[in-house]
Structure 1
C-alpha cells in the first residue's frame, strides 16, 4: 500500500512537470533563439545600460542575447524597424523623426515597425571642457571651437549642434564614440564635448579621474530658449552625479525608451519587459540612470505605438491607461 502511494505521488509530480513544460512551450511559441539590443558607442550610457539589460533578459529567459554597438537612437530605430535587431533604445526626438520619414539613415522611410517597450530614463544635455581651457560657460566657448557631438546620427549629434547654433555658438563639428572623444579632449584635439547621454556618462567619469574638468551648465535664459525651440524638458544634473560637481547643474533632457520590433511575439516582449521592470534595484545595479526605469513612467511616451506585449504588461502591473489607437495592430 505504501508503495502504491509513493508511485501515485511520483506520477502526480511527473504529470505536473509535464503540464508546466507544455505550458512554457506554448507560451514561447514563435520566440527567437537569440536576440540583440541596439545600443550606441562604447563609453556612453546606452552601451552600458543596454548591454546590461540585454544580458539580464538573456539570463532570466534562458536565451542567447546581448548588446550591439550601433550609431545610437537613429540607427536603432532603423535596425528595429527592419528586424535586424529585435530590441533597441531611442529617444523621443529621433523616434518622432523616424516615424515622420526624416531619419537621415533612410530619408523618406516611415519607420513605424518599431514599438515602445518600456521607459528607460531622461537624457540630459551637458557640456564638458578641460578646466585648463578656461571654458566655464557657454559664452566662454571660443569662435570656431572644435566640439565633439558624439556618434553621427546619435541624439547628441542630431540636436546639440542645433542647440549650440541657437545659442549663438560658432563651431567646428566633430563626431566619434564618447570614449574616443574623451581622449581627444584630454589630448587637446577638442575644445568641448557636448554630451547627450544618461548620467553619469562613463566617459566623463573617466575624464574627471584623469584630469580637471568643467561640467558647464546652461544659464536660465539659455535653458528657456532651448526648451522653447526643441522637444526637451527642464532637468538638473545632481551634484552627487560627478565628483567635479559641487552643486546641481542646470540642463535640459529628452526621454529614452526601449523599443521592440512590432512583429515579435507578444508573450516574448511581455516576458522581457517583466524581467526589466519587475526589479528596479537590479537595474540600478547595472546603471544609475535606471533609477527612472519605473512602471509609472510609461506615460512619458507620446510618440511611438506600444508593442501589444509591453502594453499588456503595463496595463496589468502599472494600471496604464493606454488607448487602443496607441497599441500596434489595434
Structure 2
C-alpha cells in the first residue's frame, strides 16, 4: 500500500532527551520506535490538520521524529495501524466497528483487531455546503441528479453520507476527492454540493467562506431524527461561532473520533504519547478548535475498540476511568 507522506516534523534526533512530562520518569525506552507516523486523511480536512499537529507536539516533547501522513481516512488508518505500517492513526467509531467486524472494504474479511483505542478526539458532524448562488438552502432544495462531493473514497463521509442522502430521498451523482480539491470544484461549478463529515471548523469550508458566499445547510428536525434512527450517530449542533456564515447553531448529527495505536507498541511509549496530548488541552485547541472535546472525561465515548494497555493505564490514573480488564488488549 503506497501512501503519499507529508512529514510535518521538527528534525529532532531520536537520541535527544525528551522535554515533556515523561522526560524524567521514562528513561527506559526499550522497544520504542525510532520514529512514528500518524495516519490522518486528505489535506484540507480536519484529520490532517489535527493529526499533523499532535504528531508534531509528541515529536517535540518526546524527542522522536514523527509526523502526519496523508491517507484515505479512517478505513485506511485502521488498516495501516493494524498492520503496523503506521504506529498511530485516527478513526471514527463507525469505520472502527466495521473494521473490527471484517467489513472494511480495504481488506474484506480481515478483522483489524491490532488497532487499539488511544484517546478521544472530537465529534465529527455531518454537514452540507453549497454556494449561495446555487439557491440550495436545504436538503430538500438539492436537485435531482446533483453532483455531490463526499470526500476521499473510503472516508467516514464517503462511507456514511451517501447512505444518509439516500435515506433522505436525495438522488445524486457521487464524486470523490480530497476536501481542498472538492472545494475548488464547488467554486468552479463542477459540483453542486459538498457533504462534509469532519471536525469543525473544516479548513476547506473556512477557506471557501473567505473566497465566496456559501450556504451551510442544516438538517430539519425530521431529517435529523430519520438519520439517527438509521445510523450510529448522535444529535449535534454546529455552534454559530464555528463559521462566519452561520448566524445561529446548525442542526446536525455526529460520530465520535478516537486516536488509535498499534496494539503491540510498548505500554510506556503509548502512555507517554497520551500524556503529551491529554495533559494540556490548551495546546491541542491551539492546533485545532475541534480539540475542545479532546478531554480526559470523554474516554467513555469508546464503545467499540479494545484499549491499548498504556492508554488504559493513563486514563485510569488521571481520569478515574473505569475500564474493565477485558476491554484492555492483552496480546494474541
Cα distance in 2 for residues equivalent to 1:214 and 1:317: 42
Q: Quote the residue 1:129 is aligned against.
A: 130
- Provide the residue aligned with 1:73 in structure 2: 74
Q: Which has the larger radius of gyration?
A: 1
Q: How much has 1:21 moved relative to structure 2?
A: 9.3
1:57-84 Cα distance to aligned partner (Å, 9 max, x none): 0000000000000000000000000000
- Quote the offset at 1:22 in angstroms: 10
| Paired position in structure 1 for 2:222 | 221
| Residues in 1 aligned to 2:89 and 2:202: alpha-carbon distance in whole angstroms | 19
Q: Which residue of 1 aligns with 2:89?
A: 88
> Pairwise mapping of residues 111-190 of structure 1 onto structure 2 (< 5 A)?
111-190=112-191
Q: Work out the number of aligned pairs and report it.
A: 310
* Aligned equivalents of 2:25, 2:236: Cα separation in 1: 46
The answer to whether the Cα contact below 8 Å between 2:219 and 2:252 also exists between their aligned partners in 1 is yes
Question: Residue 285 of structure 2 corresponds to which residue in structure 1?
Answer: 284
For residues 309 and 269 of structure 1, the distance between their equivalents in structure 2, rounded to whole angstroms, comes to 5
Aligned-residue offset at 1:97: 0.1
Give the corresponding residue for 1:8: none
Deviation at 1:23, TM superposition (A): 6.9
Q: Which residue of 2 aligns with 1:106?
A: 107
Q: Which secondary structure state, in structure 2, belongs to the residue aligned with residue 70 of structure 1? A: coil
What is the distance in 1 between the residues matched to 2:167 and 2:317? Answer: 44
Query: What is the CA deviation profile of residues 92-115 of structure 1, one whole-angstrom value per residue up to 9, with x for unaligned ones?
Result: 000000000000000000000000
Tell me the equivalent position of 2:317.
Answer: 316
Distance 2:25 2:130 in 1: 56
Rounded to whole Å, the distance in 1 between the matches of 2:212 and 2:324 is 50
Q: Provide the C-alpha distance between the structure 2 equivalents of 1:29 and 1:291, rounded to a whole number of angstroms.
A: 34
**C-alpha offsets along residues 17-74 of structure 1, whole Å, 9 cap, x if unaligned?**
xxx9997442x11000000000000000000000000000000000000000000000
Unaligned 5+ runs, structure 2: 1-21
Aligned CA-pair RMSD: 1.2
Equivalent position of 1:45 in the other structure: 46
TM-score (norm 1): 0.93
CA contact (8 A) 2:23 2:62 kept: no
In structure 2, the residue matched to 1:14 is: none
The alpha carbon displacement at 1:249 in A equals 0.3
1:196 and 2:197 are equivalent in the alignment: yes
Cα distance in 2 for residues equivalent to 1:58 and 1:143? 48
Normalised TM-score (structure 2): 0.92
Quick one: distance in 2 between partners of 1:281 and 1:297? Answer: 16
Distance of 2:59 and 2:82 partners within structure 1: 21
Q: Return closer, same or farther for 1:22/1:88 CA change in 2, 3 Å cut-off.
A: closer
The aligned counterpart of 1:327 is 328
In 2, Cα distance between equivalents of 1:116 and 1:215: 32
Contact 2:121–2:256 (CA under 8 A) maintained in structure 1:
yes
